[in-house]
Chain A
Amino acid sequence: MKHLIFVLLLIAGPAFAVTPDEVLDDPALENRAREVSAGLRCVVCRGENIDESNAEIARDLRLLVRERLLAGDTNEEVIDFVVERYGEYVLMKPTTDGANILLWGAGPALFLFAAFSALLYVRGRSVATGPGDDGLTEQEQARLTELTGKSDG
């Protein structure tokens, strides 16, 4: 039992992401804090933002975000503040500068490319004459007759 209590003590941490003692009194400010938190990544977690994460460092960051907001920073200023310290790794939404243009542009570019190729293909199809359009060849007709056992064709 002693052992168990020790284990329980060890793992007693914040059970869920945002705990009541973190919540700001001003609901508008708290909403902004949540919004900012949702866009910041918990650096030790796997793909969770700090708003969802249970990790200690996420809690510290949440408190930091709230502190900055209380100090009168705008959302952008808070984000810049955090990025300056932890690098762009913390941004859930990658920026559009530099090589990231490829990331953001890939979807639209591919879509245009695919749509254009498809347009050419469909145009090709709409003017093509399929092999079946000229009716059956004599050989095919003979084979059909043979198969169906009828001669009316």
Chain B
Amino acid sequence: MALILAFGVAFVQMIVPLVGAWRGWSGWMAVAVPAATLQFLLIAASFAALTYSFVVSDFSLQLVVQNSHSAKPMLYKVSGVWGNHEGSMLLWVLIVVLFGGMAAWFGGGLPPKLKARVLSVQSAIGVAFMAFILFTSNPFTRVAQPPFDGRDLNPLLQDPGLAFHPPFLYLGYVGLSMSFSFAVAALIEGRVDAAWARWVRPWTLAAWVFLTIGIALGSWWAYYELGWGGFWFWDPVENASFMPWLFAAALLHSAIVVEKREALKSWTILLAILAFGFSLIGTFLVRSGVITSVHAFANDPERGVFILMILGFFTGGALVLYAFRAHAMEAKGVFGMVSRESALVFNNILLAVSSIVVFIGTIWPLVAEMFFDRTLSVGAPFFEAAFTPFMVVLAIALPIGTMMPWKRAKLGKAVKPLIPAFVLAVAMFLFVWAVQSERTILGPVGFLLGVWLVAGAMTDLWNRLGRGALSYRLSRLARLPRADWGRVTAHAGLGIVFMGISGLMAWEVEDIRVAQSAEPFEVAGLEVMVQQVREVRGPNYFSTMADIRISQDGRTLAVLSPEKRVYPVQAMPTTEAAILNGFWRDIYVVIGDPQDSGGYAVRTFIKPFANWIWAGSIIMALGGLLSLSDRRYRVAAGAARRPRMQGMPAE
């Protein structure tokens, strides 16, 4: 069964390059649409087959043997499909062809030539990765003698997080391939205009939203799974997702300038190439074993070389094309030194440079070893020191930038409405400074910036309502374009993330001790008591579970049940923290080993504002979605206005 479907994939392999070659001729351009559909159906079928093999625990497949077990819960059987190198590559390709299909199905309004070229580039990416799967990582490899049972999935991955985190992340990574395809198509055409930007922007926005959600989910997962509540580690693979995110954020801002003002064209193209290039670099880093990380699931030089070739071909090829054709992009818009345009240029500098700083930090251990013969590490302290300043500057400049009009602005005029926001932010700074018991500057500054961003977003919204009576303004509120709502929401979300991160990092309280049963102890004004410890048996693990009561002023807040699990098949222990989520703070409890003196080791954390990090991220993503639902994209997507707009530049 699996073999036949592998053949199906090979069949797609055969068809796609041929079609790709044909597409240059106008007569054959129409082939692209059914080909994209066929590709999608075939890949979907082989993905479904792999999923089926996992679900029924078909141990004649090597992949299933290595990553599954018949006693594993169904959710993890399904998500186990992409909890490994081969399966996740198949998911990756599935999403590539899905996006290709989307462009084919909903791209009715695109100029036929542009559409054919976009689809052709997109399918070239598909071909490259299908070849990668077939030649180096075939998920359908058979085992001659199927074993009785499988080796189970890594216990750390047996979590609902695995079901959602990778698909979202891949939707983001691969979504950027659409922007890339559009950029390359535009380079081949030698023309970029507002209509092009209006097409690229929703794809970028969608990819960015998915990346935001994917990264937030991953960070949340790490927070509750790893047993001490870290939310970001500056691990190479996290950086691999963060770099494209920063570039995508830069790209979706610069595409606005192309769309509204027809400037920054070649820069936008370059960003689109880089954004996807960094997605590929991320893939390379994760799967080549060049840089070790907690995520690395394939350490195979052959695969690494293959991905490096794909990376070199697409990014290198696109950059060469860019070098030859970029000058054809003629800028039209004229704008002053102080204007919305230049504010967005500044935004782009900060995002792009900070992303490259992350990149340099990530590959530096490699560079140092190769060229300077030094084995060294680049850890979180470097990134915190080198990356954070850019974000601080970004946060300071952002509200001012959003207040500036296009073309020409007066700084004083733009800043004036922001005075209340500024006063509020400073008041918050002083308040936080006075209230906190630690003498750290991190918390107050984070809140200063966060409040400045949120209040700035509100001012932005207020400003969009024009001048006039309150009733008039309120009536405009309902009719405000979704894009405005999106911008305000996303910027406010960023502010909330700022507050969450700084609050958590500045004011976390930690307590480690040996706790005896029924002997309460105090952590930051809370009373913590281990009520009992019991042995529990899960579907494919054994668990030591404690019931720990958290109370305040004699009132019980919750009974938390942290666990220590052992998965016998993989012979690996995991800690399952128990968390009492709260608006202001999380209470995070971990149970450890029994002690010689009796009792258990217990770690208790108070994590202030932890949830603000993820809530803010989701609000940012929501802002992206709001913007995506803006009327102008729906209008642009419909064919209604297209023929007339296309008529002009064709002459």
Give the interface of A toward B (CB within 8 A): 4, 7-8, 10-21, 23, 39, 41, 46-49, 52, 87-95, 98-100, 103-104, 106-107, 110-111, 114-115, 118, 121-123, 125-126, 128-133, 143, 147
Residue of B nearest to A119 (CB): B337
Question: Bound state CA distance, A47 and B480, in angstroms?
Answer: 47
Please state if B593 and A19 are interface contacts (CB–CB under 8 Å): yes
Q: Can you identify 14 A-B contacts, CB atoms within 8 angstroms?
A: A15-B564, A15-B575, A15-B601, A16-B603, A39-B379, A41-B377, A41-B379, A91-B379, A92-B380, A94-B376, A98-B372, A100-B368, A122-B341, A125-B335
- Residues in A with CB closer than 8 Å to B353 are 107, 110-111, 114
Contacts of B648 in A (CB 8 A): 143, 147
Known: A8-B566, A126-B335. A91 touches B376 (CB 8 A): yes
Contact between B332 and A132, CB atoms less than 8 A apart: yes
CB of B385 within 8 Å of the partner chain: yes
List the interface of chain B (C-beta within 8 A of A): 227-228, 230, 233-236, 263, 292-294, 296, 330-337, 341-342, 345-346, 349-350, 352-354, 356-357, 360-361, 364, 368, 371-372, 374-382, 385-387, 390, 512-514, 542, 564, 566, 568, 571-573, 575, 590-593, 595, 601, 603, 644, 647-648, 651
- The interface residues of chain A lying within 8 Å CB-to-CB of B514 are 20-21
In contact, B593 and A15 (Cβ under 8 angstroms) = yes
Alpha-carbon separation in the docked complex, A19 to B515 (Å): 12
A44 to B523 CA separation, bound complex (whole angstroms): 33
Closest to A127 in B: B334
Cβ A103 vs Cβ B360 within 8 A: yes
Bound: A41/B386 CA distance, A: 19
Q: How many whole Å from B243's CB to the nearest CB in chain A? A: 14
User: Are A20 and B513 closer than 8 Å at their CB atoms?
Assistant: yes
Cβ A47 vs Cβ B341 within 8 A = no
Question: Nearest A residue to B364 by beta-carbon distance?
Answer: A103
Give the chain A neighbours of B335 by CB distance below 8 A.
122, 125-126
Given A16-B601, A88-B375, also A111-B349 (CB < 8 A): yes
Bound-state Cα–Cα, A79 to B385, Å? 19
CB < 8 Å neighbour of B345 from A7, A106, A122: A122
Name the one of B263, B512, B601, B647 contacting A125, with C-beta atoms under 8 angstroms.
B263
Q: Which of A15, A18, A95, A118 contacts B349 (CB 8 A)?
A: A118
Q: Is the CB of A46 within 8 A of B378?
A: no
A52 to B512, CA, bound (A): 13
Q: Please measure, in the bound complex, the distance between the C-alpha atom of A106 and the C-alpha atom of B364, giving whole angstroms.
A: 11
Residues on A with beta carbons closer than 8 Å to the beta carbon of B350: 111
> Nearest CB to that of A140 among chain B residues?
B648
Asked whether, in the complex, the Cβ of B385 is within 8 Å of the Cβ of A16, the reply is no
Residue of A nearest to B335 (CB): A125
> In the docked arrangement, what's the CA distance between A130 and B361, Å?
41
Which of A14, A19, A49, A95 has a CB less than 8 Å from the CB of B379?
A: A49
Please determine whether A13 and B337 come into contact, CB atoms closer than 8 angstroms: no
What is the predominant secondary structure among interface residues of chain B facing chain A?
A: mixed
Which residues of chain B are within 8 angstroms of A143 by Cβ–Cβ distance?
A: 648, 651
Q: Are B513 and A92 in contact (CB under 8 A)?
A: no
With A23-B512, A122-B342 already in contact, the answer to whether A52 and B356 are too (CB < 8 A) is no
Which residue of A has the minimal Cβ distance to B263?
A125
Q: For B236, B293, B331, B590, which residue has the most chain A Cβ atoms within 10 angstroms? A: B331
- State the Cβ distance, B584 to closest chain A Cβ, in Å: 25
Contacts of A10 in B (CB 8 A): 571
Q: Which of A4, A8, A47, A130 contacts B332 (CB 8 A)?
A: A130
Residues of A within 8 A of B379 (CB): 39, 41, 47, 49, 91-93
Knowing A12-B593, A107-B357, the reply to whether A131 touches B332 (Cβ < 8 A) is: yes
Measured between beta carbons, the chain B residues less than 8 angstroms from A104 are 386
The answer for the CA separation of A151 and B234 in the assembled complex, in Å, is: 63
Contacts of B512 in A (CB 8 A): 18-20, 23
Chain B contacts for A122, CB-based, 8 A: 335, 337, 341-342, 345
Question: Judging by beta carbons under 8 Å apart, are A92 and B361 in contact?
Answer: no
Option from B374, B382, B601 in Cβ contact (under 8 Å) with A88? B374
Contacts of B342 in A (CB 8 A): 118, 122
CB distance from A93 to the nearest CB of B (A): 4
B361 touches A103 (CB 8 A): yes
CA–CA, A30 to B427, complex, Å? 35
Query: A130 to chain B: closest CB distance in Å?
Result: 5
Give the docked Cα–Cα distance between A47 and B263 (Å).
42
Q: Please tell me if the beta carbons of B227 and A16 are within 8 angstroms of each other in the complex.
A: yes
Closest to B379 in A: A92
9 closest A-B pairs (Cβ-Cβ)?
A92-B379, A93-B381, A107-B357, A15-B592, A99-B372, A114-B349, A130-B334, A20-B514, A89-B375
